[in-house]
């Protein structure tokens, strides 16, 4: 298996992207192509020990930044690491692509260069969502700010396939984010989506309120990309805020400092639960080839975990399973 | 000043609603009317010491439950404490109304019985939002699941007036909940709302992401009622979840128990910050007369604080200020 890595994407590129790739190549049985400025990548690679035949460099002179207009950047910046990398994926040079660069540009590139699976209207950004009960999967985490009910049905389907096959949750519970648990609640979008998802062959448990998300009451959290992005960032923000308030309180005097020191291992364990770096990346679901978005502020550890997720995505042949499930649906509808 | 209290609304009515009212009457210089089953209310009142001339009972035989269809219940259940209470408000028997009962029914009653302020398209549920930096105000917290851009403009305006006058924040910063901070981000609704709010005479600081909400970066958090409800409940859920994980970790062995005991006062202080009971209620903004929604699970302390908020709502003459600001806008547009 060969992974294509955007060496220049993200806040800590190329230092951390290269290190993360080397770590992944050393730890997992894979080869890698790192896309980016050859000289820079080479300098970074020279710092590490690895089987040199396992990592190639694919030169790309430019970088797409978060400030660039995504669709425009994809069309015009042909020499960017992101576009060169996605074209390499399309041409079969590797089996999957990972980038910590601009989310918008990666999405646009996924659609324009790699294309959508036939029968899927929108590709979704899928994020692992840490809960007190393990992990859930959030679809859509921000790719599609405006959705139609049918998109949400497809998110439910793809999310179920992903969590079942990659994360090994059998018969995952699907919940629709809503403002009440009763059927018939919500805005027009979720009311209609409810009816569509209900009729799917999924373990749909109905509506789920914001309150229940951190408790892990459902495995697949379905919502439009606007709500999903707010949910994801608010969850992160709440964790950061509460821990920073705690930290301040714990450092306030000698007594609290002693108390905090006695709790240190437990506190570290809890913080780790909420650390995005543990989960590595957000797979794009709905494109013809496997793509994973790594967090913009990824360090080497996060990149390595993102690559690990990409490896599962490829190995479990998620895209084929999605296609088959769509075929079954079409057959069912024709019967 | 005379407050009308829905004695039967909420999970802990009438025990806690009556106790909370008595506490408020004893603590603040007000009179009260408690609406509900006369015999039940009387029995509760008999438990407490207060100036009996300061609290009247208004009999209402029925209660609207959370399972009832709100609009239907308001039209048909004329003998419910909520409808009797709102009619008493309309008839001038009191200066404001508070209920811990069905949110949907209170909203429907606010619109059908009390009516909207002319020039306001939708009444919003407004919730105090606790942050690490004090409190913000969330508008809309769940009244309007489907919104037009114009509604969000009005929410921004009413929220500013409320927080400035009732909570004393001068020149409050208004933020629009979005999935990125840059102008032009988001779904169709917020893109259009951005343009409308930008042109208002408000301290509009632009888009605000989910991550920034718990940090209190803005004072007035503007969003549609679907997003607002998810934000509010997720915030509550995260706080509950993190504290329950912490509690479990702190109780895991003797060492952690000693550590936790040293931190107890600080932890209680932090928990208090996030306790809805401290803030008491969510004012409805946009109706012709002051209405406050108390949390469904309110105890006496929360009811008392809700009444305190209602008192400010009335004293500061928020509704008149909203009306005046609308007149100014119309004058401005005509010029």
Cβ contact B230–A225 (<8 Å): no
What are the strands, taking DSSP E only, across chain B? Answer: 2-6, 31-36, 55-59, 96-99, 124-131, 134-139, 173-177, 203-208, 220-222, 281-285, 291-294
Amino acid B276: pLDDT: 67
- At residue A252, the pLDDT reads 87
Query: Which tens digit of pLDDT belongs to each residue from A35-49?
Result: 999 999 999 999 999
B146, B262, B267 ranked by CB distance to A187: nearest: B146
| Average pLDDT of the segment spanning A260-279 | 79
Question: A231 CA to chain B: closest CA distance, Å?
Answer: 7
CB contact under 8 A, A211 and B237: yes
Q: Are A232 and B210 inside 8 Å of each other by CB?
A: yes
Which of A231, A244, A250 has its CB closest to that of B263?
Answer: A250
Note the CATH architecture for domain A1-120+286-318.
Answer: 3-Layer(aba) Sandwich (3.40)
Selection from B73, B52, B75, B51 nearest residue B64 by Cα: B73
A30-84: per-residue pLDDT in tens? 999 999 999 999 999 999 999 999 999 999 999 999 889 999 999 999 999 999 9
Mutate to test the interface with B, among A129, A145, A271 (most CBs of B within 10 A): A145
How far apart are the C-alpha atoms of A52 and A272, rounded to whole Å? 33
Query: Over the stretch A277-335, which tens digit does the pLDDT of each residue have?
Result: 677 789 999 999 999 999 898 999 999 999 999 999 999 999 999 999 988 766 655 55
Kindly list the residues from chain B whose CB atom is less than 8 angstroms away from the CB atom of residue A214.
Answer: 234, 237-238, 240-242
Strand pairing partners for A2? Answer: A31
Q: Which residues of A touch B187 (CB under 8 A)?
A: 145-146, 224, 226
| Same fold across A1-120+286-318 and A126-277 | yes
Average pLDDT estimate for A228-242: 93
Q: Does B145 contact A187 at a Cβ distance shorter than 8 Å?
A: yes
Q: Where are the domains of chain A?
A: 1-120+286-318, 126-277
A contacts of B217 (beta carbons < 8 Å): none
CATH number of B1-120+286-335: 3.40.718.10
Helix (H, G, I), strand (E, B) or coil at B290: coil
* pLDDT at residue A230, as a whole number: 97
Percentage helix, strand, coil for chain A under 3-state DSSP, each rounded to 5 = 50, 20, 30
- Measured between alpha carbons, how far is A100 from A12 in angstroms, rounded to an integer? 9
Phi, psi (deg, nearest 5) at residue A181 = -90, -20
Average pLDDT, chain A: 93
Q: For position A204, what pLDDT does the model report?
A: 98
pLDDT in tens, A135-161: 999 999 999 999 999 999 999 999 999
Residue A276, pLDDT above cutoff 80: no
Contact A238 B236 (CB under 8 A): no
Q: Which one of B145, B148, B223, B236 would you mutate to disrupt binding with A, by most A Cβ within 10 Å of its Cβ?
A: B145
Q: Provide the pLDDT for residue B329.
A: 67
Nearest-CB residue to A234 (from B186, B213, B249): B213
Residue A43, min C-alpha distance to chain B (Å): 34
- Mean pLDDT, 10 residues at a time, chain B of 335 residues: 97 97 97 98 97 97 92 95 98 98 94 96 93 92 95 97 93 96 93 96 97 96 97 93 87 89 85 72 95 93 95 97 85 57
Question: Does the structure's ipTM exceed the value 0.95?
Answer: no
Contacts of B146 in chain A (CB under 8 A): 187-188
Q: Is the bond into A14 cis (omega within 30 degrees of 0)?
A: yes
Chain A interface, mutation test: which of B67, B214, B247, B274, most A Cβ atoms within 10 Å?
Answer: B214
Cβ pair A124, A228 in contact under 8 A: no
Contact B214 A237 (CB under 8 A): yes
Q: Test A236 with B212 for CB contact under 8 angstroms.
A: no
Q: Do A230 and B179 touch (CB under 8 A)?
A: yes
DSSP annotation string for A32-56: EEEEE-HHHHHHHHTTS-S-GGGEE
Cβ–Cβ below 8 Å for A249 and B230: no
Query: Which residues lie across from B293 on neighbouring strands?
Result: B99, B282
Report the predicted TM-score, pTM, of the whole model to 2 decimal places: 0.92
C-alpha distance from B104 to closest chain A C-alpha (Å): 11
pLDDT of residue B186: 94
User: What single string gives the DSSP state of each residue in B233-260?
Assistant: HHHHHHHHHHHHHHHHHHTSSHHHHHHH
* CATH match of A126-277 with 1.10.645.10: no
The CATH class of the B125-276 domain is alpha beta
CB-based contact A48:A37 (threshold 8 Å):
no
pLDDT at position B228 is: 97
pLDDT given for residue A259 in this prediction? 87
Give burial (CB, 10 Å; 0-12/13-18/19+) of A269: exposed
Q: How far apart are the first and last CA of chain B?
A: 39
């Amino acid at each position: 298996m060969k992974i294509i890595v955007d060496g220049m994407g993200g806040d800590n590129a190329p230092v951390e992207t290269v290190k993360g790739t080397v770590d992944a190549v050393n730890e997992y049985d894979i080869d890698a192509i790192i896309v980016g400025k050859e000289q820079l990548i080479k300098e970074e690679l020279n710092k590490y020990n690895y089987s040199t035949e396992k990592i190639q460099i694919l030169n790309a002179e430019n970088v797409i930044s978060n400030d660039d207009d995504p669709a425009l950047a994809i069309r015009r910046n042909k020499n960017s690491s992101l576009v060169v990398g996605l074209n390499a994926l399309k041409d079969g040079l590797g089996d999957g692509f990972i980038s910590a660069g601009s989310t918008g540009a990666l999405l646009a590139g996924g659609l324009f260069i790699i294309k959508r699976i036939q029968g899927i209207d929108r590709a979704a950004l899928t994020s692992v969502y840490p809960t007190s009960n393990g992990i859930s999967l959030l679809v859509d985490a921000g790719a599609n700010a405006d959705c139609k009910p049918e998109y949400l049905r497809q998110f439910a389907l793809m999310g179920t396939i992903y969590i079942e096959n990659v994360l090994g949750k059998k018969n995952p519970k699907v919940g629709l984010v809503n403002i009440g648990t009763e059927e018939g609640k919500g805005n027009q979008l979720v009311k209609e989506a409810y009816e569509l998802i209900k009729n799917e062959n999924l373990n749909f448990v109905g509506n789920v309120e914001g309150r229940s998300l951190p408790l892990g009451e459902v495995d697949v959290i379905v919502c439009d990309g606007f709500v999903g992005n707010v949910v994801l960032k608010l969850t992160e923000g709440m964790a950061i805020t509460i821990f920073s308030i705690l930290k301040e309180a714990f450092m306030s005097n000698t007594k609290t400092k002693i108390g905090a020191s006695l709790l240190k291992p437990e506190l570290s364990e809890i913080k780790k639960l909420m650390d995005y770096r543990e989960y590595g990346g957000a797979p794009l679901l709905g494109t013809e080839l496997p793509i994973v978005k790594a967090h913009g502020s990824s360090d080497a550890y996060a990149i390595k975990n993102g690559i690990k997720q990409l490896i599962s995505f490829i190995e479990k042949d998620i895209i084929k399973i999605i296609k088959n499930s769509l075929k079954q649906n079409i057959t069912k509808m024709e019967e």
